[in-house]
Amino acid sequence: MLNGLRHRCPNCGEGRLFTSYLKVAPACEVCGLSFAAQKPDNGPAYFTILLMCHIAGFLLHFMIVYSD
């Protein structure tokens, strides 16, 4: 689990899991473990939007309430 949280290969702990923010690497560059079966689908995008909407909603509320 710690390797996953660090965005590292679950097998060797050294290779990168992602090539960019939402794109899973095809395989580990160190040990060659294939990541083809792991699809991020909409999970990362959903959590990003969820987080940003909470921040933006709070700021919008704050600006409207305290704009005097």
* Cα separation, 30 vs 55, whole angstroms: 38
User: What values do phi and psi take at 45, rounded to 5?
Assistant: -65, -40
- Identify the band that residue 68 occupies on the pLDDT scale cut at 50, 70 and 90: low
| Angle subtended at Cα 37 by Cα 32 and Cα 38, rounded to the nearest 5 degrees | 95
What is the per-residue pLDDT for 33?
93
* Both structure tokens of 6: 């660090």
User: Whole-prediction pTM value?
Assistant: 0.56
The CA distances from residue 28 to 40, 43, 46, in Å, are: 16, 21, 25
